[in-house]
Amino acid sequence: MIPRDQHPISRKQISRAALNVLYGLHEAGFDAFLVGGCLRDILTGIQPKDFDVVTNATPEEVECLFRRARIIGRRFRLVHVRFGPEVIEVATFRALGEPGDSDSSHSREGQILRDNVYGNIEEDALRRDFTVNALYYNIADFALYDFAGSMQDIQNKTLRLMGDPAQRYREDPVRMIRAVRFAAKLDFDIDPDTEAPIHELAPLMQQVPPARLFDEMLKLFLGGHAAYTLELLQDYGLFDALFPATAETLQDSDQRLLEAAMHNTDRRLAQDKPVTPAFLFAVLLWAPMRHLLERYQDDGMPPSVALNKASGHVIAEQVSTIAIPRRFSSVVREIWDLQPRLPRRHGNRAAQLVSHPRFRAAYDFLLLREEAGEIPPGLGQWWTDYQDADEDTREAMAAAAAKGAPAGNSGTGRKRRRRRRRGGAEGGASGGNNA
């Protein structure tokens, strides 16, 4: 126990809503603690994005105490207490059933299936993932409770799993991606023992429900550190487990596309610009889509049919690992569908394309493909200029494009190769693709 005068956490750093919940529980005679990420973040100098509370009150008791409280969750029963826009998650202390318990709380592979046995605070600490996530702040005396050397690990910027790492990953393989996510977010190192089993156990990711992996994906890539996260995922073999088809077909230009897109995402988030998961998945699955598209076209399938089929197949395969909701996968397909249409700008096609609801995303995607060197530059700039231009200039640009003015080429690798094989029949060095 670290008393108030020996640690730097003060109530000023805790949100009003969290304090309301803590005091509400305390005044009703229950134990009430802040726990986990919020304390870790405060101690690391990061503004916590949410506050989690633990108590010895049962979910029903918590629900009775607060007006806007609601029990949620099946695997874990939690209470969400709402104050204005803020939601405080309140959990009851839980213990970890041992693997092999007769209550079938574990699968044969050691994965936790149910985890709702109530316990005391020490047991609650032991079932948490990393030591840095297992710190408690008591509202009764403002003391910190550190059961696992949490303070030391936060100071040393070290991510260390509680207990035996391999066993903890088997219990819940998502902990492997959490290790990467926290390493990237906090700029912490993963302790060697915690790091060691990841490569070998990465394939366990296949056992995680796809819907949960989708949620984790968003946290991984929309947390503001996507570029570093991607690097770590690839280093640890987790990327291959999460995106097997991509890992199998990834070319140098696809890798550059991924990196450019992740940097771009981080930049947009830093500027408070919107980012959509659809764009990320369009990037992440572009390599296998292109690969398959090429194969179908080699088999003589017409380009639009091939694109449609390849898109459908790649997405259908990916959702067996990561559930991409249809509202996103349909946008992924639109972004892809627009790629071969972007070079065709004659007549009123350019005007139509610009007003397409996915034009902007497709254009951003095109810019990334050019940046990655997958296609020669030019077309992106043309569209940049076109969007900036007035009506008359736009018409002139479209007319010039119809005559075959140079503007790069946004076709797929397949098309480019075919053109090359024809011995540059279209002539010129522009690679224009206006036919």
Strand partners, 158: 189
Out of 24, 37, 237, 244, name the contact with Mg ion by CB under 5 A. Answer: 37
165: contact with ligand ATP by CB under 6 A: no
Which residues, including other chains, have CB under 8 Å from residue 16's CB and lie 6 or more apart? 83, 86
Pair 412, 290: CB distance under 8 Å: yes
Out of 43, 79, 129, 201, name the contact with ligand ATP by CB under 6 A. Answer: 129
Which residue, judged by CB position, is nearest to ligand ATP in the bound state? 37
Out of 94, 106, 160, 175, name the contact with ligand ATP by CB under 6 A. Answer: 175
Give the per-residue SS3 of 159-213.
Answer: ECECCCHHHHHHHCCHHHHHHHHHHHHHCCEECHHHHCCHHHHHHHHHHCCHHHH
Q: What share of the chain is helix, strand, coil (3-state, %, to 5)?
A: 55, 10, 35
Q: Which helix (H) or strand (E) holds 52?
A: strand 52-55
62: contact with ligand ATP by CB under 6 A: no
User: How far apart (Å, rounded) are the C-alpha atoms in residues 387 and 384?
Assistant: 5
Instruction: Please tell me which residue in 41, 124, 129, 153 is annotated as part of the active site.
Output: 129
**Interface with ligand ATP by CB under 6 A: which range of 64-72, 168-176, 249-257, 262-270?**
168-176
Among ligand ATP, Mg ion, none, partner that 133 touches (CB below 5 to 8 angstroms by kind) = ligand ATP
Q: Which of residues 22-51 bind ligand ATP (CB under 6 A)?
A: 36-37, 49-50
Site track for ligand ATP across 216-255, x = CB under 6 A: ----------------------------------------
Site track for Mg ion across 38-77, x = CB under 5 A: ------------x---------------------------
133: contact with ligand ATP by CB under 6 A: yes
**Residue 117, φ and ψ in degrees, nearest 5:** -85, 120
Among Mg ion, ligand ATP, none, partner that 237 touches (CB below 5 to 8 angstroms by kind) = none
Q: Give yes or no: 115 in active site.
A: no
Give the per-residue SS3 of 261-288.
Answer: HHHHHHHHHHCCCCCCHHHHHHHHCHHH
374: contact with ligand ATP by CB under 6 A: no
CB atoms within 10 A of CB 382: 22
CB of 180 to ligand ATP, least distance (A): 12
Taking the alpha carbons at both ends of the chain, their separation in whole angstroms is: 74
**Strand 135-138 and strand 52-55: pairing?**
unpaired
Instruction: Please tell me which residue in 5, 31, 41, 52 is annotated as part of the active site.
Output: 52
Out of 22, 52, 148, 238, name the contact with ligand ATP by CB under 6 A. Answer: 52
User: How far apart (Å, rounded) are the C-alpha atoms in residues 182 and 190?
Assistant: 9
**Interface with ligand ATP by CB under 6 A: which range of 172-180, 197-205, 256-264, 335-343?**
172-180
Binding site for ligand ATP (CB under 6 A): 36-37, 49-50, 52, 128-129, 133-134, 172, 174-175
Binding site for Mg ion (CB under 5 A): 37, 50
**Residues assigned a catalytic role:** 50, 52, 129
